[in-house]
Structure 1
């Protein structure tokens, strides 16, 4: 035991470099795992926000259609509810209500009316698609 305490050699340069290299590799691996987790979380947040936005538009349109007697569809991308005109602008990827931006980041907005049934399909920029069908009772 006393012989170990009297050993004054210390660390060699090779041993010190080996510890630094191994520590660096471990830190790089841990950092890349952390960044990958952060990127995955951000991607999921963005997709959830897109889903919420599309669901919100469908909810508002459904509520407006149910409250009125006058519903018209023009060109499969324009919906007229009473005096409100909802139009899809493919250049800006927006849905406008009476000329004002109602929703951003929309890739596709299709409205079809067959007899007393209205079908609305919305696709976000990320490819999230939701569809609703509304049967008019009037």
Structure 2
């Protein structure tokens, strides 16, 4: 979807049902940090929707972070479903979030089913890597 201008009252892209400013927007805008692995995962999905390569890289663990990231400009994100979470709470050191993200690229439907691994780095949640159930 590329970078989109967001107004107060816009629903958050992560599908929480909350306003962007009350949900992932505060993490994307740098006014707060995600308190849980699930909150970080949702904000990373929102970053994909908004084309925020900067946020995706800064929330990626140093050991597994690529040097750069190039998002597919024709990808349109359609929705996120959280399937399960394991650990990843405010007091945990690591956690996992299983999700399904749907998108469309040049008319072709894409379904990403991932079990993402998160850990704390310098006190903040970061994405480490993921596995693909059923792949």
Q: TM-score range by the shorter chain?
A: under 0.3
Higher Cα Rg, which structure: 1
TM-score by length of 1: 0.24
More helix by share: 1
TM-score by length of 2: 0.25
